[in-house]
A and B are shown apart, each in its own frame.
Chain A
């Protein structure tokens, strides 16, 4: 900036900043606000390392509406299970002749033929479930393929069992052709429940299987039904995974789809801060520029500008923002721009009235008499003098912008690809956080907004007191 050119001026400017800091340091509320903002800024920079999961893409991390992990401190919640993820390594439990099984990265079951009666293979994976509280859902995925199918019908049956108990079937498939695919079995899925003959509304498959802590087994039962002696078939199984969704998860629990709420909260910090700060800076710049030009030029320009401001002040801002977001795009940067466009109005009036009184001051007169040009006067004398007020206003504009963004997202008009606090609250409101009493979903995003906005209000208040000494006298 032009007033930083000479060494003298730089010194003067540094001393001004130092004095400002000395004033600010005495204001306790302002310090509290500044510390809070600093914490948020650090979190915003560290968010890629602090958030363990992707806020939107990583689903099924736990049961929907899973509580935070730390509620297990309470005795009544002590036994709630965390998410248990098992990589499935099949071992053979019963194998007749004529079948060759290779274990390794993938399990290959090779039926060689030679007889006409059906042959059964039992593969089992044993695992330990260490809780008495049953899970609500478990999910199994594996990919399988069959080839070399000749004159043969096969069936794949998946079952789950508590050791020394009866087997509960989970999924099956009959075919006589080459094929394959990824099996995804969700114990709460309606098609799964209908397939095994349970009531999709009343019955819970996971509760039927998991009856207490102990050893459990996942059973893969293959049946080969050859039509002639030269029948052949080869199975390949790989990438098996068993996921027992936990009823507690992470620092802040999970949302309806099992996403990590803590990650959503952390990621939201950066977006809220960016939107708040950028919108405030842009709108303040516009406001200062319009105010100074309008106040300094006066006359026709002033009249027209102020009438335009009058008209714009009558526009219903939030509904208009909603409409613009809905019609022309939902990117956060676009949102910053349209918030900034509607936020400079009040400030331009304040700056203008300040400039009107500054314009008549002797030092401006002196500058003019010494031959200062228009631009020189504006940038060298007027703008530096309105900067404190502009700065105080800018700090107070940040919470406004943050709350506006949160309101838009809360009403469902935010960017669906970005996780923001408003979006979290919108989802909490629309996807049943209230009926599930999911306080861990409602409170954190709201409190995060409140703390950040209050921090800026506190700092703005402190800056305002320093910039406008009149206020200091009153208190």
Chain B
């Protein structure tokens, strides 16, 4: 009987939640488009309206005749008025047509695809590994409060605030890529790149090679950011463990394990998912520095080198992609939040 009432109530809440979720999602996606539009406009303003540089100074040979210059300007569509260029540019951005790179004279989209895949490989594996390491450490710390592990979890959480990611990576590089190989002739991790030169032909060996090259940056990214996860999980779990339903569960005589995982931990999942999504932009920028240090051929490194050589179409597109990644992560988090916690009236969260 009791369970029947409980289910019907739950069902009603779910139904109510659904309509609100739908409405909220529509609002959210509309906001996402506005955000993308803002980013694109900002790009245009930064690079083509306010820019103190002539977009061609970096790539044009000063010996070019005005005629050649004019033809080039026409090819890149830079001879039109600002308004026409803006409309064309916005159209291009939203139809996945990012124009041609100044430097390589190739389509930006074509060049971007493999680099984006590399970045997502690095990002995705780092995110998964960080979660896999961070959450269990947090759970253990919360369940053994005051123990050494707890101190380590709190300490590493504080460290992530104070230690820049690139310093951890430089130290890692110094010890494992230079100090150990030189003094003891042990090459544990690769210094740079994504594959050996030349890359192995056999698919299996190739994958192993990539995994070996991935391991260094991956370990440093996990080291640099698992602490905040551990600390966050621990604090959420400690909060949950003081709730009434946990006291009830304990009073029922359930084992501590069941209480911890089935009652307390479950309630921490929705905020955790939010954290995963919110950490994506940080990981994106972290990946940029990682790509720079470990020479990982992703879009972050491409972005830096393109900026230094004044290849604005590429820089614009990468900024746009970064914003897109952030927005997708945020929307995914909101949807997951609604799925994991039907009580939430998503639209009213703010």
What residues make up the interface of A, taking CB atoms closer than 8 Å to B?
A: 306-307, 310-311, 314-320, 322-324, 326-328, 396, 399, 403, 406-407, 410-412, 425, 428-429, 434-435, 437, 439, 442, 446, 449-450, 453-454, 456-458, 461, 474
Contact = CB atoms under 8 A, between A and B. Distances in A.
A311 B34 CA distance: 8
B281 interface: yes
B159 A446 contact: no
Interface of B: 31-32, 34-35, 38-39, 42, 46-47, 50-53, 158-159, 161-167, 170-171, 173-174, 177-179, 182, 235, 238-239, 281, 284-285, 288-289, 292-293, 303-304, 307-308, 315, 318-319, 322-323, 326-327, 330, 350
B167 A425 contact: yes
A461 B170 contact: no
26 contacts: A306-B350, A310-B35, A311-B35, A311-B38, A315-B42, A315-B323, A315-B326, A316-B319, A316-B326, A318-B288, A319-B288, A319-B322, A324-B46, A326-B307, A327-B46, A328-B50, A399-B162, A407-B165, A412-B308, A429-B170, A434-B178, A437-B182, A442-B171, A449-B164, A454-B158, A454-B163
Contacts of A458: 158
Q: Chain A interface mostly helix, strand, loop or mixed?
A: helix
A474 B238 contact: yes
Given A317-B281, A453-B162, A458-B158, 11 more contacts: A311-B35, A314-B32, A314-B35, A322-B307, A327-B52, A328-B52, A399-B161, A406-B166, A410-B164, A435-B178, A450-B164
Contacts of A425: 166-167, 170
B46 A411 contact: no
A317 B238 CA distance: 32
Interface residue SS majority, chain B: helix
B38 A319 contact: no
Nearest to A325: B307
B164 A407 contact: yes
A352 B75 CA distance: 50
A397 to B, nearest CB: 11
Contacts of B326: 314-316
A319 B303 contact: yes
Contacts of B318: 319
Contact of B289 (A317, A411, A437): A411
A292 B316 CA distance: 35
In the complex, the 4 A-B pairs of residues with the closest C-beta atoms, listed nearest first: A316-B322, A453-B162, A454-B162, A318-B285
A463 to B, nearest CB: 14
Contacts of B239: 474
Interface centre among B34, B165, B170, by most chain A C-beta atoms within 10 angstroms, is: B170
